[in-house]
Structure 1
């Protein structure tokens, strides 16, 4: 095992905490939708969640775009 110091994000990183909360809230907003719509949107959210593991800033921008589209989409209400 190496002695390299941890170079990842801090556990109490406010930006990552905010992203995690926004992803959680997005999943909650999608949950009551009809099954076909819900499954499609959940796949998008899971892709954003996976991206957050590698690039939190890009994931946050993708989540912003997702939420903007989600609010404007006629098939989700």
Structure 2
């Protein structure tokens, strides 16, 4: 099934649901689209910076330590 067909099928199935369920699905979909749009913008910015020669070497061990420290705060 093509992506457009899948999306149309999902919309048709959702349209048969009660209004509160449709509203919840719509809000969740819009939130997801917003997150993906922000991610795409961040990726595009990063690629532009790399293309402009603004990249620098990455110390993967430091990155991992920082990520672990941030997520351990929870």
TM tier, smaller:
0.3 to 0.5
Could you say which structure has the greater relative contact order, defined with CA pairs below 8 angstroms and 6 or more residues apart?
1
TM-score by length of 2: 0.36
TM-score by length of 1: 0.35
Computing the radius of gyration over CA atoms, which structure comes out larger, 1 or 2? 2
Structure that is richer in helix per residue: 2
